[in-house]
Amino acid sequence: MITLDRLTKRYGDKTAVSDLSFEINPGKVTGFLGPNGAGKSTTMRMIVGLDAPTSGRALVGGKRYEELRHPLREVGALLDARAGHPGRSARHHLLGLARSNGIPASRVGEVLQTVGLSEVANKRIGSFSLGMGQRLGIAAALLGDPKVLLFDEPVNGLDPDGVRWVRELMRSLAAEGRTIFVSSHLMSEMQETADHLLVIGRGKIIADAPIEEVIAGSSLTAVRVRTPQPDVLRRELLEFGLRVEPNADSAPDELLVVGGTLEEIGDLAFHHRVPIHELSMRKASLEQAYMELTAASVEYGSPALSQVTEVPDHQKA
């Protein structure tokens, strides 16, 4: 388990992480999302002792990282795929890590096999592609067979087969009862991988909930209802406390209902004897839900496309 207790990090007058408190539990994949500059990497670095918090604390299994006698046996982390010395081979890089933490040398071959690098084990790290570097970083994280694992953008540079492999690896590790904490900017992949989400913006928690709950909270997640009595059903839905969204693209007999389940709406219609011709869920994607959550927290936003492509007056014909 990873526990953050009012964790704060300031650099001069800039607060990178502000009063974060949450728990990351074993047996599930916890996704860590947020815009660039939100404080994700800083938070992960404080968990593994690479940055010292200004205040608060980060605990792994109830201890600070620096209190762990053999840290690689308890916490594995991929925070920088280029962390190894470029002149060393993959095998010697892992052997050095193993010896420093009392890990048997035989474990090196095992993790190289796991990540698919056995055939290039004696090649220098400096010759590795970004994807190969990611695989080596994952091997280093797995080396001590730890119960807690942190991955910062683990699929960066991987081909589709590698992305799928990482997804399956994360889920299999969680199924073994390990604590898996992973950050990524690939929303579609996170939707396939994570069980629980932590979303931060400008160093503060925006959401801490199961992934389905985060998606369900989007205004784009709604129940589509078709009925020959839309006005009657709309009135009853509003009285029940649900929201009926206007939709210019809807047919006259169609309603989009936010905040209710299929069962609630179906039961309500039955109770008031309103015939239903269709009742279906329209789910938002994680990307859509994420964009809504972080809309006010983007620090380095891009200009609108129309702003980018607009031609200055002096260049117009």
Q: What is the pLDDT of residues 261-298, one digit of tens each?
A: 899 999 999 999 999 999 998 888 899 889 988 887 76
Q: What is the 3-state secondary structure of 163-178?
A: HHHHHHHHHHHHHCCC
- Name the residue among 82, 59, 99, 80 with its Cα closest to residue 179: 59
- Residue 258 has a pLDDT of 86
DSSP letter at 316?
A: -
Same domain for 122 and 266: no
DSSP letter at 36?
A: T
- Residue 218 has a pLDDT of 83
* Residue 227 belongs to domain spanning: 217-282
Same domain for 73 and 162: yes
Q: Quote the number of domains for the chain.
A: 2
Task: Confirm whether 291 is domain-assigned.
Answer: no
* Beta bridge partner(s), residue 75: 148
Domain at 275, CATH number: 3.30.70.980
Among 156, 182, 209, the domain boundary falls at: 209
- Residue 217 has a pLDDT of 82
d(CA 161, CA 250): 40
Same domain for 64 and 87: yes
Task: Confirm whether 299 is domain-assigned.
Answer: no
pTM, rounded to two decimals? 0.81
- Residue 104 has a pLDDT of 94
Q: CA 115, 120, 126 angle in degrees (round to 5)?
A: 100
Helix (H) or strand (E) holding 2: strand 2-11
Same domain for 16 and 160: yes
Burial 191-209 (b: 16+ CB within 10 A, else e): bebbbbbbbbbbbebbbbe
Which parts of the chain have pLDDT scores under 50? 305-317
Same domain for 221 and 176: no
φ and ψ at residue 85, rounded to 5 degrees: -65, 125
